[in-house]
Structure 1
Amino acid sequence: MALKDPNEARERLAKLRAQVGEFIFGLHRVTADAIMGLVTPMVKDTPTSKEYTQAHLIISDEPGTGKTALLNYLSSGIEAKLGRIDGRPDLMPSDFTGREERDKYTGIRTLLTGPLHSHIIFADEINRTPPKSQSVMLGPMEGGRIMMNITNEKEGRIESVGFPLFPVPGDPKGRNFFQVIATMNPIEYEGTYPLSEAQMERFTYRLTMGFPAREEEKMILAENVIGKKVEVVMSLSELLDIQEMVARIKLSKEAVELRQRYLENSRPFSHDKRIFGKLRPRRYATDKLIGFINEYAVSGCSPRRNFHMEAAAKAHAFMRGEDRIATVDDVKAIAHITMEHVIRLDPRSFGDHIDAKDVVEMIIRETKPL
């Protein structure tokens, strides 16, 4: 049965959040943001048009902060086929996509599908996987197909065949669902590989866990979690219904303008020279912000980040109870978690103890008001 009432939808999401709170103590903000990621309607490319798809999210923080547990409990609350990838240096692309095997006695070929052939892909410690293997996720994450090498016996050769993303069984509208939720350790940790800019661009959100308050951390005891169980709160069809509700929300003119100012102000002058061959005026940034970005940023947000920020602002508006219009406050609220991971910093920023969070904070503070 279709889910049509926005208030009922928010009640379901609140129940999912409460379930996670039975295991993850004190980290209310990141839990709310992760649930927001589940209902965010992102835009994908098809051969002839653009359509809605799912947003992808990644959590980056130190080991032991609960990244894996949070995403595990969230995904378990959704009735879906789950695929899990545990990042290791020896993973091959076929460990993601699957492979074709031939029985040496009968000659029969069998197609073994990998974890990418699922609705929700949980990629744990994704940056412990070599770049060659990470790259097979780029196409599916952009809304395309899963590519596999299959034997064409008639032609006597191996062909690259594209498999469509995973359909939702029994969905009355015949919709698909494909979402990557991933964790990663800080790049300075041993045994990690940097994710490419192209792959980071495909994540709408990057979240950080942080630490709970002292009294809440004291609640981390076995007696407080043993015996509890996560229940399925909603089906994928219902989750897609919620995404359609979110997609119907519009950004106000002021929200669109503020989003554009943030994106423009994230780009250094070196970007202008490379792309346009000349400097473009920064009418909506203070001199302090212009100098800061030119000193510490190598590149800013791409035009595609417009879609990510629009989708995130709509989802934030929905989560706070709005069904029609997303405002400038929604854009401000999602700026950090949608911009930080796609801004590339100059090496001198490390020496000056400047990180992407500082850059986005400066953009928010020093962008000229509407």
Structure 2
Amino acid sequence: MTITTDQAAWFADSFVTLTDNVGQALLGKAPVIRLALTCLLAEGHLLLEDAPGTGKTALARAMAATVQGSHSRIQFTPDLLPSDITGTTVYDQAQARWEFHKGPIFASIVLADEINRASPKTQSALLEVMEEGHVTVDGTSYDAGRPFMVIATQNPIEQAGTYRLPEAQLDRFLMKTSVGYPDRASAVQVLAGSASPDRARSLQPMISTSAVAEMADLVKANHVDDAVLDYVQRLTEATRDDSDTTLGVSTRGSISMVRAARVWAAARGRNYVLPDDIKELALPVWGHRIIMSPEAEFAGATTAAVVARVLDRVEAPMLRGAGV
């Protein structure tokens, strides 16, 4: 049963409240904040890639401060080990038994700062928990709880001392986006408050973890017409068939799009998804999942160009009576 118009309106009001709260710490970046909150409520993970000093960590900290749950920060470095993330089993001599000591991955919102500075082996420690919501250590699984969101930041891969994220890990992120530099007016406000640059510290929690889970469960019932599902699949196939790509959008990527679109539509106060929602989310949800051919990459082709091309080529459906 689809959500009602009243439920969609309530969802949209709550979404605006959360956006405004995070926006107090990250000025002039409402579009990026909406994408981040969409990830949270779609129970996905967010990858932020941008130059140093643009506010990637500030966004993650503001998101964590907005949710009244547990938060952790992992600073990724070349010497970080997988057990430093997941935790380890330690023998308790007093109790004469082995005990699992949880790592920082066990939190509602986890900030994985500069994730591409750790080795691929350490990065792979996130694969299971990001996909399945639990960690397996010594044959025993431990639930990460709900909500669980990883917000990872990385600097461009051309910088020294970084590693390219494996394709399998990139596919675990629901979205990838960048914060970018603020506009002039927002930058002046930031400079005016430079005596206390960490605005996230002053934020008050606006939503409990149980409420986040309830909103996530509610939006799963947002209506997606079969014509929209067919549109998503045709777009997916077009990315695979594009001459510039070696690897197109996976089935996981298609599922991620539908999950994100349900939240995106509800955040606009609608209890149904439109093709325009798919178009607006195409680049952040799919851009990082497309692998360019070496020839195309050498020629300067980009995943953004591929996404724009398939959106132009694949005809969107005309929906009648949407949400009825």
TM-score scaled by structure 1?
0.78
1:17, 1:137 → 2: CA distance?
27
> For 1:263 and 1:5, how far apart are their aligned partners in 2?
31
Structure 1 equivalent of residue 48 of structure 2: 59
Does the 8 Å CA contact 2:54/2:179 hold for their aligned counterparts?
Answer: yes
**Residues 133 and 148 in structure 2, CA contact (< 8 A), matched pair in contact too:** no
1:11 paired residue among 10, 13, 17: 13
Which residue of 2 is the match for residue 281 of structure 1?
none
- CA displacement, residues 119-150 of structure 1 (integer Å, 9 cap, x when unaligned): 2221111111111111121111111531223x
User: What are the ranges of 5 or more consecutive residues in structure 1 without an aligned counterpart?
Assistant: 41-53, 150-159, 167-175, 269-292
1:53-202 equivalent positions in 2, closer than 5 A: 54-102=43-91, 109-149=98-138, 160-166=139-145, 176-202=146-172
Alignment of structure 1 residues 302-341 onto 2, 5 Å: 302-323=250-271, 325-341=272-288
Percent of residue pairs bearing the same amino acid type:
30
Q: Read off the aligned partner of 2:168 and give its amino acid letter.
A: A
Deviation of 1:180 after TM superposition, in Å, equals: 1.4
**Does the 8 Å contact 1:23/1:225 carry over to 2?**
no
SS at match of 1:180: strand
How do 1:207-356 and structure 2 match up within 5 A?
207-223=177-193, 226=196, 229-268=202-241, 293-294=242-243, 296-323=244-271, 325-356=272-303
C-alpha distance in 1 between matches for 2:254 and 2:96: 51
Change (3 A) 1:101 1:369: closer
Contact 1:254 1:327 in 2 (8 A): no
Instruction: Confirm or deny: 8 A CA contact 1:101 1:110 kept in the other structure.
Output: yes
TM normalised by structure 2 equals 0.88
SS at match of 1:306: helix
2:11·2:266 contact (CA, 8 Å) conserved in 1?
A: no
Q: Structure 2: where are the runs of 5+ without partners? A: 1-5, 318-324
Counterpart CA distance in 1 for 2:229 and 2:80 is 42
After superposition, give the CA deviation of every residue in 1:295-316 in whole Å (9 maximum; x if it has no partner): x211101122221011011111
Quickly say closer, same or farther: Cα 1:24–1:144, change in 2 above 3 A: closer
| Greater C-alpha radius of gyration | 1
SS in 1 for 2:251: coil
SS in structure 1 of the partner of residue 110 of structure 2: strand
Task: State the superposition RMSD in angstroms.
Answer: 2.2
CA 1:105 to 1:241, structure 2 compared with 1: closer, same or farther past 3 Å? closer
Deviation digits for residues 194-220 of structure 1, max 9, x if unmatched? 111111111111111122222322222
Residues 8-46 of structure 1: per-residue CA shift (max 9 Å, x gap): 443333222222222212222111111111111xxxxxx
